[in-house]
């Protein structure tokens, strides 16, 4: 439920990113906390940020999903609908789960950087996403379970 609620907020552009915080008089980072290259918006954070795009690429490659990371799409839903058409049918449910998981984990990593003063870490985030994907698969995400390489084991 938290992941779906986050996606609903992101779709409505209601996440508290740097472009929204000044409206409430709240402090905010001048630039994206993950790439430090552009103003932080939800669209930038999830789809356009070079750090995020690399995460998308790495995880989709790990899952062996034959599609490109988001590139300039207005939303993850728009990207997913486009990629879904070019993804083999047996992989579509797994792609749908990954499309929910990756932005959620990017958001959580961003929050660690903003609120806990963590440094952006590609390696740490990729490990967390792989671990979370494995947990989702064990909890019943069958499409994701079919895509996860068998060599990945969470202890």
- How many C-beta atoms surround the C-beta of residue 4 within 10 A? 10
Q: b or e along 14-44 (b: 16 or more beta carbons within 10 Å of the residue's beta carbon)?
A: ebebbbbeeeeeeebbeebbbbeeeebbbbb
Distance from the Cα of residue 38 to its chain's centroid = 18
Q: Taking CA 64 as the corner, what is the angle to CA 59 and CA 67, rounded to the nearest 5 degrees?
A: 80
Q: Are 144 and 137 in contact (CB under 8 A)?
A: yes
Ordered by start, the domain boundaries in the chain are 2-147
* C-alpha closest to that of 51 among 107, 93, 116: 107
Q: What is the DSSP string of 110-122?
A: HHHHHHS-PPP-H
Burial category of 155 from C-beta neighbours within 10 Å (exposed 0-12, middle 13-18, buried 19 and up): exposed
pLDDT of the chain, 155 residues: tens digit per residue: 999 999 999 999 999 999 888 888 877 778 999 999 999 999 999 999 999 999 999 999 999 998 888 887 888 888 988 888 889 999 999 999 999 999 999 999 999 998 899 999 999 999 999 999 999 999 999 999 999 997 545 55
**What is the C-alpha to C-alpha distance for residues 14 and 68, in angstroms, rounded to an integer?**
26
pTM: 0.91
d(C-alpha 24, C-alpha 116), whole Å: 21
What is the reported pLDDT for 138?
95
Write down the pLDDT at residue 151.
Answer: 59
pLDDT at 67 (0 to 100) = 84
């Amino acid at each position: 439920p938290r992941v779906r609620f986050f996606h609903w907020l992101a779709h409505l552009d209601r996440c508290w990113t740097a472009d929204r915080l000044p409206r409430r008089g709240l402090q905010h980072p001048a630039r994206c906390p993950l790439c430090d290259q552009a103003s932080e918006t939800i669209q930038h954070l999830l789809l356009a940020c070079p750090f995020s795009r690399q995460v998308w690429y790495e995880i989709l490659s790990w899952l062996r999903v034959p599609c490109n990371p988001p590139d300039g799409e207005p939303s993850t839903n728009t990207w997913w609908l486009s990629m879904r058409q070019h993804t083999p049918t047996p992989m579509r449910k797994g792609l749908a789960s990954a499309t929910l998981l990756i932005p959620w984990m990017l958001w959580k990593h961003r929050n660690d950087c903003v609120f806990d003063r963590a440094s952006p870490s590609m390696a740490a985030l990729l490990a967390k996403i792989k671990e979370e994907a494995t947990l989702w698969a064990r909890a019943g995400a069958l499409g994701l379970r079919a895509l996860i390489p068998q060599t990945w084991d969470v202890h």
